[in-house]
Amino acid sequence: MKLFGTMEINNKGHLKIGGCDVVDLTNKYGTPAYVVDEDLVRERCKLFKSNFSYKKMDTEVIYASKAFLNIAMCQLVKEEGLSLDVVSGGELYTAIKADFPVEKIYMHGNNKTIEELTMAIEAGVGRIIVDNRQELELIESLCESLNSKVDVLLRVNPGIEAHTHEYIKTTKNDSKFGESIFSEEIYKIINRINNSSHMEFKGLHSHIGSQIFQEKSFYEQSEVMLKFVKKIKEKCDVRVKELNLGGGFGIYYSEGDTPMKLNEFLKNMLENIEDKAKELSITVPKIMIEPGRSIVANGGTTLYRVGGTKKTYGGKHYIFVDGGMNDNPRTALYGAQYEAAIANRMTESHEDIYTISGKCCESGDMIVKDINLPHPNVNDVVAVFSTGAYNYSMSSNYNRLPRPPVIFVKDKESRCVVKRETYEDLIKNDLAI
Ligand SMILES: *Cc1c(COP(=O)(O)O)cnc(C)c1O
């Protein structure tokens, strides 16, 4: 088990995050609760911002907000000087409400609705990432009726398979995202944008997957993309000024996960791009990346209370906690692995192999499978680590469970930044027949 950021164990054997005893946090805010180590998240933002630079290259780090987004997170990202990538009207709305600088917002999505595109154009977002030809025509006509102009990147599929889970692989040739760089159509699309009076072609976007550990995949992606940049110059006489290489940097969830040393890797990646561009005799475009998970995952911890345990006739030992797949669907969805601890008895030795399961009515409702823990007692606090990304943002009200609150901790202080949902919240949109 790995402790992250400001985590420590106090003399009572309790886990502390941001200087706060998690047992005190559960008494104050109840369980389940998402706790975010603010210092660690800020440190990760700084790590990307300070290391994603090389010589005089123009670069930009864009936080992929789908990993974890609310007003407080927008404010944090703004303070740390990162840009923001949004994939829906809801994410865009949150960013606008948080006063996030609109020119630093990148609007993504493979099927943006007319309402979403209108909202993005009217708000004046920095870039719209065009997914396909049809969308191009839609943006063109919307801009015409709104009498405005947008800067766009074209999302392309470079056909690279990064070693990652099937559902989070996005760049195989059959991926639903972007237009393939191998199709001849693509040059027509680029010409189409370039000749438009409502769109300014800024460059390209690609994203090769998530939870990637191999540096090689990113080098391969940069190389393929730079070659494509050259081809566009030759075939369309259009200069790609910006190259957005997406996110996907892997993080540590559990034993066997081997994240890249980002501080070295980010510089190496840029150096490599500069070298490749020289080799190909092309001008180095501005390079952007969009980390999501690697900014927030390790900074998040979910706290639950143990309701009971059960040893099945078949011999499986369950710990039942007061949350489940509604606050963390990743185990059920991807077979994700997490580390966890009994947070009020951190120094006790492990006794058995347990499966931490929730209270949802699904056999697949598991949070951590087969983990070594001390024997849990009713009311013990279970901490599940590295839940900062794709937990809160993927949560649901399945079984009409209210979503947990989000608590930021820092310097011995805690602040609730998203309130716990109430039963009243659950029915607020219900209408009687
Ligand atoms: C999801 C996504 C990201 C972020 O991926 P992480 O694995 O969280 O870093 C970045 N860019 C795009 C286009 C995405 O869809």
Catalytic residue list contains 236? no
> Are β-strands 127-130 and 150-157 bridged in parallel, bridged antiparallel, or unpaired?
parallel
Query: Atom 10 in ligand 1: which residue has the minimum CA distance?
Result: 247
367 Cα to the center of ligand 1, angstroms: 23
* Structure-derived torsion over alpha carbons of residues 362, 367, 371, 372, reported in degrees to the nearest 10: -110
Mutate to test the pocket of ligand 1, among 63, 77, 85 (most ligand atoms within 8 A of CB): 85
Contact 133, 125 (CB under 8 A): no
**What are phi and psi for residue 395, nearest 5 degrees?**
-70, 160
220-240 confidence digits (pLDDT tens): 999 999 999 999 999 999 999
CA distances from 177 to 159, 167, 172, 208, 295 (A): 11, 13, 9, 10, 23
Tell me, what DSSP letter sits at residue 405? Answer: P
Per-10-residue mean pLDDT of the chain, 433 residues long, equals: 96 98 98 98 98 96 98 98 98 98 97 98 98 96 97 95 57 80 95 96 96 95 98 97 98 97 97 97 98 98 98 96 98 96 96 96 95 96 98 98 98 98 98 96
Collapsing DSSP states into helix, strand and coil, what is residue 238?
coil
Contact 296, 251 (CB under 8 A): no
Query: Atom 15 in ligand 1: which residue has the minimum CA distance?
Result: 207
H-helix segments, 156-314: 185-194, 215-236, 262-279, 293-296
pLDDT at 174: 77
206 Cα to the center of ligand 1, angstroms: 10
pLDDT at 51: 98
Count CA within 13 A, CB hemisphere, residue 62: 31
Domain 8-37+297-427 has CATH 2.40.37.10: yes
How far is Cα 163 from Cα 155, in angstroms, rounded to an integer?
21
Collapsing DSSP states into helix, strand and coil, what is residue 84?
strand
Helices 89-97 and 71-79, packing angle to 10 deg: 70
Residue from 20, 45, 236, 361 carrying the catalytic annotation: 361
Contact 195, 146 (CB under 8 A): no
124 Cα to the center of ligand 1, angstroms: 22
How far is Cα 125 from Cα 118, in angstroms, rounded to an integer?
11
142 Cα to the center of ligand 1, angstroms: 27
* Residue ranges lining ligand 1, Cβ < 6 Å: 64, 66-67, 85, 108, 207, 210, 246-249, 290-294, 389
How far is Cα 369 from Cα 352, in angstroms, rounded to an integer?
12
248 Cα to the center of ligand 1, angstroms: 6
Other C-beta atoms closer than 10 Å to the C-beta of 113 total: 12
Domain boundaries, the chain: 8-37+297-427, 108-291
In which residue are the tokens 């040393």 written? 261
pLDDT at 1: 87
Contact 332, 365 (CB under 8 A): yes
- State the closest ligand 1 atom to the C-alpha of 250, by its place in the atom list counted from 1: 7
| Contacts with 407 (C-beta within 8 Å, 6 or more apart), sequence order | 25, 29, 33, 34, 35, 36, 414, 415, 416, 417
Edge-to-edge order in the sheet of strand 20-21: 8-9, 15-17, 20-21
pLDDT at 164: 58
Closest to 282 (Cα-Cα) out of 244, 240, 245: 240
Taking 3-state DSSP, the helix, strand and coil percentages for the chain, each rounded to the nearest 5, stand at 35, 25, 45
Tell me, what DSSP letter sits at residue 249? Answer: B
Q: Which fold has domain 108-291?
A: TIM Barrel (3.20.20)
Mutate to test the pocket of ligand 1, among 65, 91, 210 (most ligand atoms within 8 A of CB): 210
Q: Per-residue DSSP letters for 111-169?
A: S--HHHHHHHHHHT-SEEEE-SHHHHHHHHHHHHHHT--EEEEEEEE-----SS-GGG-
Between the two ends of the chain, the Cα-to-Cα distance in Å is: 52
pLDDT at 170: 53
Indicate if 108-291 has the same CATH topology as 8-37+297-427. no
Mutate to test the pocket of ligand 1, among 112, 177, 244, 290 (most ligand atoms within 8 A of CB): 290
Contact 77, 84 (CB under 8 A): yes
Element (H, E) at 49: helix 38-51
